[in-house]
């Protein structure tokens, strides 16, 4: 199987087509303010009873999107007069029709995309070049262009204009559900990005996905410097997820656990620094001694070459594809702004300030001291993944895997077990079956993920990795997390009143439910921790885990800020910058807690490569999870989950107010942490 994608695809992802500059120029203020003002006054006279605020906003927004190829200013004025809907009842009727049309378009495009990416995402055998070509094809790349060309986009922009995040926060609490849904329709047409740029971004993202999905380390081929094998035969771990999870599990190994952890940490360092020999990536033929970085074949030393900054090239290709889109988003003209203020609907500055306040808490130093005492040794960088506060470390990994592999020998067996899991969590049999019927389970090529449906009648896809020996505990733990995602995807599609409100405010919210499920993985296996200090342990674990994921999120954000400041950098320069950022972040926040300086380990997360600027969602997800878990105490979990996630796509802060009665904050977990430490 090929480990690397063709250089042609990498080049395409970085290209900015020559005609794009012309499109940028054509897109600047074609409809002047004078035309907008005259037209607005004219429409007001024609429709004196119309909502004046919506009228002004709609005409201004439609004008900002109109280009020379769409028609003259006079043709724009005629279009507005012909298509403006003044009657609220008629506007509501048209809105419902548009919603139905978009459900069909989004839903069917989603199904096509799932089919085209099937051989890339699922363990269906060898990936051929034609699989890559179809898998990287974006079926909806030209949709936006088409809807502008046929003027549908302008009808929507005119009658259902875009509201900024600030406006949604201010006006949203007084909106009806239909007004909220109409505002979400307004989010559809905020900018005009040429199809070739959307396609280039899809190619860059697809290539990064394939690179990560195929980045396995053959652990049974790792050797100590004196030639010893310390990992079992057949162990193949995907970076970084499986490496991290093995490292966590090794805390339960009192004999070889620390030696394994030191070796995994060294592997991670080589991946980050890109001096890992390319011969040992996803290759069973070679033995590799990570500490000396020597490679052998059948016991004989061989010359090896380091991976040629492929990891950082993928990030830069995605960055360039996103940067090419920047000029077509005048209000949100960086990928950073779009990821946070638009997608996450929380500003990047707010995110960074929250992370800084939590990571700077002196309470974390005290948690580090507790872990040091529990381990009976000085802390090491990989102890950011310490799992000793969690109940699962009371059970040997082999025992847990024996149980999960017997219960779930195949993906089909996991699907068959889903109704029972939901019933265990408290859903009644009918509701448990209803939700489970809308989820299918596929064999994952990577570690696993959840892909939601986009129209009623379709199903969510839970992708999970199951070996010939059955589902090991690591895979089960991830599968339960993804099951939480799929349950959210089902509730927030099928149980939300308006299609335009379907989904959740951002991925942090869906991550929260995934964590709620994952936190109950042992319970779902029938294993209970009767430790009277369980709640205290869970608080310590939550705080420590949040510290770790906030750190990697901070590195991700700072790396993208560096890219925008240095857009012409080489992959090698970017590599050195990421290592420097990771080390500086470590020394500022983590060194005082763990007592170790200059570790680059915060840069290991694969999300940095194939899910740029996503990592902050995990931190927010854990904060939201903690608040939800606190709220759920003494209440019926299924009733509350059904209620919360049927709210749909409010802004995150308004969703949280409706869900638990307070906004997103790390203070509740810090308060509980202080109690736990006392």
If asked whether residues 520 and 587 sit together in one domain, one would say: no
Interatomic CA distance for residues 563 and 96, integer angstroms: 42
**Would you say residue 355 lies in a domain?**
yes
Where is the domain boundary, 501, 524, 547?
524
Structure tokens at 315: 């990030």
Q: Is the pTM of this model over 0.85?
A: no
**Would you say residue 319 lies in a domain?**
no
If asked whether residues 629 and 565 sit together in one domain, one would say: yes
Where is the domain boundary, 461, 490, 524?
524
* Residues 594-603: tens digit of each pLDDT: 999 999 999 9
Give the mean model confidence (pLDDT) for residues 404-433: 97
Interatomic CA distance for residues 77 and 29, integer angstroms: 15
What mean pLDDT, rounded, does the chain reach? 91
Structure tokens at 231: 């990992």
If asked whether residues 602 and 669 sit together in one domain, one would say: yes
If asked whether residues 377 and 435 sit together in one domain, one would say: no
If asked whether residues 281 and 158 sit together in one domain, one would say: no
**Would you say residue 645 lies in a domain?**
no
Which pLDDT score is estimated for 425?
97
Interatomic CA distance for residues 486 and 453, integer angstroms: 9
The closest of 501, 613, 490, 502 to 168, measured between CA atoms, is 501
If asked whether residues 154 and 176 sit together in one domain, one would say: yes
The most confident of 283-297, 337-351, 381-395, by mean pLDDT: 283-297
If asked whether residues 547 and 660 sit together in one domain, one would say: yes
The closest of 233, 230, 231, 265 to 247, measured between CA atoms, is 265
Residue 182 in this model has a pLDDT that exceeds 90: yes
If asked whether residues 186 and 252 sit together in one domain, one would say: no
Of the pLDDT bands very low, low, confident and very high (cuts 50, 70, 90), residue 237 is very high
**Would you say residue 339 lies in a domain?**
no
Start-to-end C-alpha separation, the chain: 54
Where is the domain boundary, 176, 211, 246?
211
Which pLDDT score is estimated for 391?
56
Residue 22 in this model has a pLDDT that exceeds 80: no
**Would you say residue 334 lies in a domain?**
no
Residue 17 in this model has a pLDDT that exceeds 60: no
**Would you say residue 403 lies in a domain?**
yes
Examine residue 272 and say whether the peptide bond preceding it is cis (omega within 30 degrees of 0): no
Proportion of the chain in helix, strand, coil states, percent, rounded to 5: 65, 5, 30
Which pLDDT score is estimated for 29?
61
Structure tokens at 583: 């080390």
Which pLDDT score is estimated for 18?
37
Which pLDDT score is estimated for 134?
93
**Would you say residue 646 lies in a domain?**
no
**Would you say residue 491 lies in a domain?**
yes
If asked whether residues 47 and 173 sit together in one domain, one would say: yes
Of the pLDDT bands very low, low, confident and very high (cuts 50, 70, 90), residue 632 is very high
* Residues 423-458: tens digit of each pLDDT: 999 999 999 999 999 999 999 887 788 999 999 999
If asked whether residues 217 and 290 sit together in one domain, one would say: yes
What range does the domain containing 664 cover? 345-389+532-635+651-677
Of the two residues 396 and 345, the one the predictor is more confident about is 345
Kindly report the backbone phi and psi dihedral angles of residue 448, in degrees, each rounded to the nearest multiple of 5, phi listed first: 125, 150
Q: Do residues 276 and 286 lie in contact, with contact meaning Cβ atoms separated by under 8 Å?
A: no
Strand partners, 652: none
If asked whether residues 551 and 592 sit together in one domain, one would say: yes
If asked whether residues 67 and 204 sit together in one domain, one would say: yes
Give the mean model confidence (pLDDT) for residues 642-646: 97
Of the two residues 445 and 103, the one the predictor is more confident about is 103
Residue 678 in this model has a pLDDT that exceeds 90: no
The domain total for the chain is 4
* Residues 115-152: tens digit of each pLDDT: 999 998 888 889 999 998 999 888 887 898 899 999 99
CB 625: neighbour CB atoms within 10 A?
A: 25
> Among 24-33, 197-206, 489-498, 538-547, which stretch is predicted with the lowest mean pLDDT?
24-33
Which pLDDT score is estimated for 34?
93
Kindly report the backbone phi and psi dihedral angles of residue 474, in degrees, each rounded to the nearest multiple of 5, phi listed first: -60, -45
């Amino acid at each position: 199987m090929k480990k690397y994608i063709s250089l042609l695809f990498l080049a395409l992802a970085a290209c900015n087509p020559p005609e794009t500059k012309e499109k940028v120029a054509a897109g600047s203020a074609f409809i002047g303010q004078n035309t907008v003002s005259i037209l607005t006054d004219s429409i007001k006279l024609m429709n004196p009873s119309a909502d004046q605020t919506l009228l002004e906003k709609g005409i201004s927004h439609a004008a900002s999107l109109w280009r020379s190829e769409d028609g003259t200013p006079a043709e724009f004025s005629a279009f507005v007069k012909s298509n403006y809907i003044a009657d609220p009842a008629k506007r509501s009727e048209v809105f419902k029709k548009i919603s139905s049309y978009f459900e069909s378009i989004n839903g069917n495009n989603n199904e096509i995309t799932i089919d085209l990416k099937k051989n890339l995402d699922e363990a269906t055998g060898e990936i051929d070049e034609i699989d890559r070509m179809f898998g990287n094809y974006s079926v909806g790349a030209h949709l936006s262009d088409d809807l502008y060309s046929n003027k549908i986009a302008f009808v929507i922009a005119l009658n259902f204009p875009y509201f900024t995040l600030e406006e949604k926060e201010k006006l949203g609490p007084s909106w009806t559900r239909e007004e909220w849904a109409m505002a979400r329709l307004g989010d559809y047409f905020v900018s005009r990005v040429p199809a070739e740029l959307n396609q280039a971004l899809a190619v860059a993202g697809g290539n990064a996905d394939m690179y990560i999905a195929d980045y396995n380390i053959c652990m049974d081929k790792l050797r100590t410097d004196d030639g010893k094998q310390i990992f079992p035969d057949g162990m193949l771990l995907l970076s970084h997820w499986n490496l991290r999870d093995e490292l966590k599990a090794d805390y339960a190994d009192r004999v070889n656990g620390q030696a394994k952890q030191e070796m995994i940490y060294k592997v991670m360092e080589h991946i980050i620094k890109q001096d890992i020999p390319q011969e040992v990536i996803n290759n069973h033929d070679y033995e590799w001694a990570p500490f000396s970085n020597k490679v052998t074949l059948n016991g004989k030393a061989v010359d090896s070459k380091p991976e040629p900054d492929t990891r950082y090239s993928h990030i830069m290709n995605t960055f360039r594809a996103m940067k090419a889109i920047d000029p077509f988003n005048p209000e949100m003209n960086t990928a950073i702004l779009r990821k946070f203020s638009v997608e996450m609907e929380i500003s990047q500055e707010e995110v960074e300030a929250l992370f800084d306040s939590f990571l700077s808490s002196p309470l974390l130093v005290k948690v580090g001291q507790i872990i040091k005492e529990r381990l009976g040794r000085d802390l090491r960088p990989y102890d950011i993944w310490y799992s000793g506060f969690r109940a699962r470390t009371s059970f040997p990994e082999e025992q847990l895997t024996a149980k999960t592999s017997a219960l779930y020998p195949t993906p089909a067996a996991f699907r068959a077990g889903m109704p029972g899991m939901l019933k265990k969590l408290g859903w009644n049999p009918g509701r448990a079956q209803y939700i489970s019927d809308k989820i299918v389970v596929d064999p994952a090529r990577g570690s696993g993920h959840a892909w939601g449906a986009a129209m009623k009648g379709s199903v969510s896809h839970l992708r999970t990795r199951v070996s010939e020996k059955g589902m090991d505990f690591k895979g089960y733990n991830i599968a339960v997390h993804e099951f939480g995602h799929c349950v959210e995807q089902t509730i927030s599609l099928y149980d939300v009143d308006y299609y335009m409100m379907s989904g959740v405010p951002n991925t942090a919210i869906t991550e929260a439910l995934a964590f709620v499920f994952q936190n109950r993985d042992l319970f779902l296996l029938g294993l209970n921790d009767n430790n009277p200090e369980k709640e205290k342990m869970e608080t310590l674990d939550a705080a420590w885990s949040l510290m770790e994921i906030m750190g990697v999120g901070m590195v991700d954000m700072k790396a993208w800020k560096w890219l925008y400041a240095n857009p012409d950098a080489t992959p090698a320069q970017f590599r050195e910058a990421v290592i420097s950022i990771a080390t500086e972040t470590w020394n500022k926040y983590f060194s005082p807690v763990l007592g170790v300086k200059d570790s680059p380990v915060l840069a290991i997360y694969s999300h940095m490569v194939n899910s740029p600027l996503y990592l902050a969602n995990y931190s927010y997800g854990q904060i939201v999870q903690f608040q939800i878990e606190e709220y759920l105490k003494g209440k019926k979990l299924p009733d509350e989950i059904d209620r919360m996630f049927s709210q749909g796509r409010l802004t995150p802060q308004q969703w949280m107010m409706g869900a638990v009665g307070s906004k997103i904050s790390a203070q509740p977990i810090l308060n509980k942490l202080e109690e736990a430490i006392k």
